[in-house]
Amino acid sequence: MHLVPFDYYSDSPNAGVGLTHTASLIQAAREQARREGALVLLFDNGDALQGTPFGEWAAEAVPDAHPLSLAFNALGYDAIGLGNHDFGFGLEFVNRFTAQTACPVICSNMKAMRGSQGWVAQAILQREVHMDGQDLPVRIGVLSVLPPQVTRWEAHMLRDKVESADILTTAQRIATKLRNQGCDLVVALAHSGLDRAMAEPEMENAVIPLAKQNEIDVIVAGHTHLTLPGPSHSGLPHVDSKRGLVHGTPVVMPGWAGSHLGIIDLTLELDEGQRWRVSDCRVEAAPVRQATGLAPENPEMARLFAPGHAKTRKRVSHPVGSVTKPLHSYFSFCAPDRGLALMAAAQAAALRPYLAGTKWEGLPLLSAAAPAKFGGRAGPGHYTDVPAGDVSIRHVADLHIFPNELRAVQVTGAQVRDWLEMSAGVLNQLHKNEPVNLSDHKRAGFNFDVLHGITCQIDLTQPARFDSAGRLTDPSHSRIRALEWDGRPLETDQLFVVATNNYRANGGGQFPFAAVARQIELPSLRIHDILCDYVSGEYPSDPLEQAPRPFSFAPTDRAKAILHTGPGAYKYLDELAEYKPTILPEDTEGFLPIQLTL
C-alpha cells in the first residue's frame, strides 16, 4: 500500500512512488479528457492493501475509515479489482474494506464458501459518450480475475472460507454473460502477468491467452510489477510491447507502487447494428518520474494520508534490540547474507519448542529464508540495509516485508536437493566466453531460498533443472554439488524438518517439494513477530547461528558474472573480495553492475 512517497524501512523520502504522485497524473488525464469531451473511467487492479508498514498499520488500527477506501472515493474510481496480496490480512478485513468503498469491488474467480462477501463477480457501468452533439449511452462490463493459487498461498487466512477458479474459464464465462446482458465493451481487470502463450489450467500469469478471447475489449494487467508498453515484454509471442497490444487487444500494465498511470485511449464507433465497437486505441504507461521532472504530489491526497503516515512512522520507530553487524541484501545471490541467517535462526528458535516431545524432535532442523528486497523490478533502492546498532520495528520489517506466518515441513534429502535446484534457477547459466548477468530478471528474487543448516555448491555452468513453473527441464540437468549436512553427504531418503513460511509451504513459487512434503501443524506465528522477539532476546540464541556458509559456487574456468545491485552496496564491497570484483558504470536504471570472477 504505497500511498505516500516514503520509505518506512529507511525512514526517508522515496520520490517516484506512491498514490499522491499518481493522483496528479489522474487529475491531469481527467482534465485533458474533459477538454476533448471524452468519457473517463478509472480502475485499480489489485494488491493495493498490503506491501508497506502503512498498510499493516491501517489493517490493524483503522476499522471504520481505511485511508485507501477514502482515497478511492475521493478520486472517483469506477471499479476496483482485487489481487492476491489484498487477502494477506484475511477475509474479514477485505469485507470491511469493500464496505467502505463507494464503487464496485470485483473478483470474478473467487467466492465465499459460506456467509457474505464484500465483492461482486462483475459490474456494469452505465455511461454516456458525446458524439455529433449528443450524449449516447454505452454499457461497459467489468470483470476481475486474480491468480487462483491465492487460496493456497494464503491458506492460513482463507482455508474453508473461499474457493477460487481458473482465470481463463472464468473470464470467458463472465465476459460472455456481460455481452448477453447488453454490454458494448468488456474490460478485464486481470491481476495477472504475461508469460506463456498457450492456455493451460490454473495459470498464474494468463494475460496472453486471455487477450485472445473475443469478448474482451480491454485488459488492465498486473501482478508481476512490470510495465506495458515497455521493453520488459519484448520478444513474447503475440505481444506488441511498443504499442501495448496482445493478440491485437489493448493491454496496459502500470508498473508497481504507483510508479505509473496506465492509460488506454479508445476510439469508439457505432456499427451497423448501432452497437459500439473499438475502432482505434492508444496505450501508455505514464511514469510519475518523467524527463520533464517528477509529477507533483496531489495536495488533497497528501492531507488525507498525513495522519496515518505520521502514526506509521511512530509505530515502526519502536526499538526491539540491537545487532552487531550490518544486515543487507545487496549480495544475497552470491555471498553470505547476515539478514537471511538471522531470519533462519529466528524461525528455527521459534519452531523448536513445537517439535519437542514429538516424532520430529530428533530430525535435523533446517531453515529456509529468501531475500524480500533484491532490487529487480522495484529498482536500485529496493534492498534491505540495516546498520549495526540499535534495531527498531522498521528494521525488522526491512528484513521481511510480507505478513507471512511460520510453517514447518518434513522433507527427504531428495526433496531438499530439488528445493535447492529450484532456488538455483533464479540464477543464469554462465559461459566462458562472455560475462552473463548473475540473476535471471524473469524470475523473482524472493524465490531464491537459502537453506541454512546444510552446505552445497551451485554449478552455474549447468542449465537449470526446473523452469519458473517448477517443471523439470531435463532429468540430466543438475546444478547442486557437494550437498552435505553435518559434513556428510545427504542421503536421498534422509528425513529433515525445514522451517519456512506459509507462502512457500503452500506452493508459492511453484517449488516441487510443496506438493508432497508433509506439513507440521503449528499455531499462528507471524514471522515479523518472531524476528522482533529473537532480536530482543525473547528466544534463546539458536544453533543455526553457528551454521556454516549455506552455499558457494562450484569452481569454473574463470567464468564471469555481472551482479546488478544497488549503489548502497559500495560500503560493503569488501564482502565480495573472493570474486575479485570489478565495478562497472551504473546502468540507465541506476543499478550498480559489478563483474565477478567465479
- Residue 582 neighbours by CB under 8 Å, 6+ apart: 594, 595
Distances (CA, A) of 514 to 15, 230, 522, 550, 564: 39, 34, 17, 21, 30
Q: Please report the pLDDT score of residue 214 as a whole number.
A: 96
Kindly state the percentage of the chain with pLDDT values over 90. Answer: 90
As a whole number, mean pLDDT of residues 403-431 equals 96
Q: Which architecture, in CATH terms, is 6-311?
A: 4-Layer Sandwich (3.60)
Residue-wise pLDDT for 222-272, tens only, equals 999 999 999 989 999 999 999 999 999 999 999 999 999 999 999 999 888
**What's the mean pLDDT in 92-104?**
96
pLDDT, position 272? 82
Task: Write down the pLDDT at residue 34.
Answer: 92
- The whole-angstrom separation of Cα 74 and Cα 71 is 5
Whose cell is 538471522? That residue is: 342
* Whether residue 180 has pLDDT greater than 80: yes
pLDDT higher than 80, residue 433: no
Q: What is the pLDDT of residues 38-84, one digit of tens each?
A: 999 999 999 999 989 999 999 988 778 999 999 999 999 999 999 99
pLDDT at 273 over 90: no
Tell me which DSSP letter residue 405 carries: B
- For every residue of 61-90, DSSP letters joined together read H-SS--HHHHHHHHHT-SEEE--GGGGTT-
Tell me what pLDDT residue 146 has: 98
pLDDT for the residue numbered 482: 97
- Give kind and range of the element (H or E) at residue 273: none
Say what the pLDDT of residue 377 is.
83
Which residues sit opposite 285 in a β-bridge? 262
Section 361-366 average pLDDT: 97
- In this structure, the dihedral spanned by the alpha carbons of residues 279, 285, 291 and 297, taken in order and rounded to 10 degrees, is 120
pLDDT computed for residue 447 by the predictor = 97
Report pLDDT digits (tens) over 132-169: 788 899 999 999 999 999 999 999 899 999 999 999 99
Left (φ > 0), alpha (ψ -120 to 50) or beta: where does 580 sit?
Answer: left
291 vs 271: CA distance, rounded Å: 40
Once rounded to an integer, what is the mean pLDDT over residues 182-198?
96
- CA 439 and chain centroid, separation: 17
Identify the pLDDT of residue 528. Answer: 96
What is d(CA 528, CA 534) in angstroms, rounded to the nearest whole number? 10
DSSP-assigned beta bridge partners for residue 344: none
Q: What are phi and psi of 79, to 5 degrees?
A: -165, 150
Give the pairing type, strands 105-106 and 110-112: unpaired
Q: Which residues are CB-contacts of 508 (< 8 A; sequence separation ≥ 6)? A: 149, 152, 153, 514
> For 460-494, what is each residue's pLDDT tens digit?
999 999 999 999 999 999 999 999 999 999 999 99
Q: Which ranges of 356-457 does DSSP label H, i.e. alpha helix?
A: 393-399, 413-424
Say if domain 319-597 classifies as CATH 3.40.50.1370. no
Is the per-residue pLDDT at 8 higher than 90?
A: yes
Which pLDDT value is given to residue 515? Answer: 85
Q: Which amino acid makes up residue 333?
A: F
Mean pLDDT of the chain: 95
Confidence of residue 431 (pLDDT cuts 50, 70, 90): confident
The structure's pTM equals 0.91
Share of the chain above pLDDT 70, in %: 100
Exposure string (b/e) for 169-201, b if CB count within 10 Å is 16 or more? ebbbbbbebbbeeebbbbbbbbbbbbbbeebee
Please give the Cα distance from 357 to 43 (Å, whole number): 53
| Lookup result for grid cell 526446473 | 466
Q: What is the predicted pLDDT for the residue at 11?
A: 95
Residue ranges per structural domain of the chain: 6-311, 319-597
